[in-house]
Amino acid sequence: MFRVLTNNPKAYKWWLDRAQSNVHIQWLEGNFHAVLIAARDLVHLGWRLLNHPLSSSIKPNQTPYKTLVLARGCELDHQSLAVIEAALATSLKLGDFPGSVPAILEDLQFIDLEMCKEIPLQ
């Protein structure tokens, strides 16, 4: 079983259009940090990160969008927990995305989507 967490409208639509029965796509209201919090909560429940929360050269304060893919495990994955906690600390340290014009927001949605499209769901 897999779960996709996103606050990116482009990624949400892309994943919904390709959803398999073993994939749950979850839309999250909120910013980059809110997605990290939701992922951390799932990691505590036995889910494992399949993509890195800081996977790109775009920092949390440079984009409002994040899409994370997790796989269901049986017990706490300590590596996923360490990664998500470090990402949360970085997000808090850097602060929130200040906002931008629609054209740049579209580009940021595209970049986030491209970063998660090829994650194997096996």
The 3-class secondary structure across the chain, one letter per residue, is CEEEEECCHHHHHHHHHCCCCCEEEEECCCCHHHHHHHHHHHHHCCEEECCCCCCCCCCHHHCCCCEEEEEECCCCCHHHHHHHHHHHHHHHHHCCCCCCCHHHHHHHHHHHHHHHCCCCCC
Domain residue ranges of the chain, discontinuous segments joined by +? 2-116
Q: pLDDT digit string (tens) for 52-109?
A: 999 888 999 999 999 999 999 989 999 999 999 999 999 999 999 999 999 999 999 9
> For the whole model, what pTM was predicted?
0.95
Taking residue 7's Cβ as centre, other Cβ atoms within 10 Å add up to: 23
